[in-house]
Amino acid sequence: MSDDEEILNPDEQDLKGTSKDPELIFLPEKSREIYFRAYNNFNKWRVENGVNALSETVLLSYFMHLSHTKQPPTMWSIFSMLKATMNIKDDVHIENYSELITFLKGMQVGHNPKKSKMFTLSDIDKFIKEAPDILYLGAKVILIIGINGGCRTNELMSLTVDGIEKHSDTLLLIKLPNSKTSTDRSFVVRSTEYLQIVEHYQSLRPPNAKTDRFFVQYHKGKCSGQPMGRNKIGGIPRDIATYLKLPNPQDYTGHCFKRTSASLLADSGADLSSLIRHDDIRPGTSRHKR
């Protein structure tokens, strides 16, 4: 999967009716709405194209349509989600569609995932010190937490207000729920300057915000009660690279913070155990692709 591609990019609002659908218990709890979004996107395509049938030919046509805009790993993810939802909702078993699976396997041939570019320590320091807060305060906080914790986009999006704990003037404890390994994790930020930046952002949060998500929209010195979505947070590295006038800012994707953090940790002489803990990998398990 290319680093700059998100799987499905769900909206911030809940899908109507899915929270009350008893069939949801058969789908992964963390991803139910995304599964149903994949299913709804497929049905929307059917309506737009006047297709009533559910057959291998229809699914093959749909995935051919997706192939113009989606990378092979994303298409496999959509296949997996449609397999689960169509099994439940329509009693259709697309895992038996041999031509469709052959097509998806063929799409993978020659596919080379593109990795995100990384920031240097001087890039980070320059942005923190020079970028005007009135425009970039939210991006600075995302950068600080993202780099210190080696965070993925979904982790930053899921961070809650209660997940930020100040323990001293130089130590901030960050607790991340539901990381990719389904294990909660935490890390610390040790810097008076960074703490002040985070606290400044916190102070601007509307007291009547209806979301408990930590990152809310920031615009011209003000925070709104609207939570930042996956696309907004995933685009922050590109915005930072653009401000710094780095070459090809579009190559700084949502995976940038995790890759940068791991690189800086390795450059500091950290041992393998530290790197494994930092990357949310347990000894004896395969490494997650970034």
pLDDT, tens digit (0-9, with 9 covering 90-100), for 112-126: 556 789 999 999 999
Band (pLDDT 50/70/90 cuts) for residue 111 is low
More confidently predicted of 256 and 28: 256
Answer whether residue 236 shows pLDDT above 90. yes
Band (pLDDT 50/70/90 cuts) for residue 250 is very high
Average pLDDT of the chain, as a whole number:
83
Percent of the chain with pLDDT over 70: 78
Phi-psi region of 179 (alpha: psi -120 to 50; beta: other; left: phi over 0): beta
Q: What is residue 183's predicted lDDT score, i.e. its pLDDT?
A: 67
Answer whether residue 15 shows pLDDT above 50. no
Mean pLDDT, to the nearest integer, of 89-102?
93
Q: What is residue 277's predicted lDDT score, i.e. its pLDDT?
A: 55
What is the pTM assigned to this prediction?
Answer: 0.62
Cα separation, 132 vs 137, whole angstroms: 7
Dump the DSSP string for 163-184: GEEEEETTEEEEEE-S-TTS--
Q: What is residue 270's predicted lDDT score, i.e. its pLDDT?
A: 57
Task: Report the run of H or E that residue 287 belongs to, with start and end.
Answer: none
CA 42 to chain centre: 22
How confident is the model over 124-182, as pLDDT tens digits?
A: 999 999 999 999 999 999 999 999 999 999 999 999 999 999 999 889 999 987 655 55
E-state strands within 55-176: 164-168, 171-176
Task: Report the run of H or E that residue 187 belongs to, with start and end.
Answer: strand 185-189
Domains of the chain: 18-108 (no CATH), 121-278 (1.10.443.10)
Q: What is residue 269's predicted lDDT score, i.e. its pLDDT?
A: 64
Residue 105's alpha-carbon distances to 110, 138, 266, in angstroms, are: 11, 41, 35
Cα separation, 75 vs 97, whole angstroms: 15
Cα separation, 100 vs 95, whole angstroms: 9
Band (pLDDT 50/70/90 cuts) for residue 58 is very high
Going across the sheet that includes 185-189, the strands are 164-168, 171-176, 185-189
Q: Could you give the 3-state DSSP secondary structure of residue 242?
A: helix
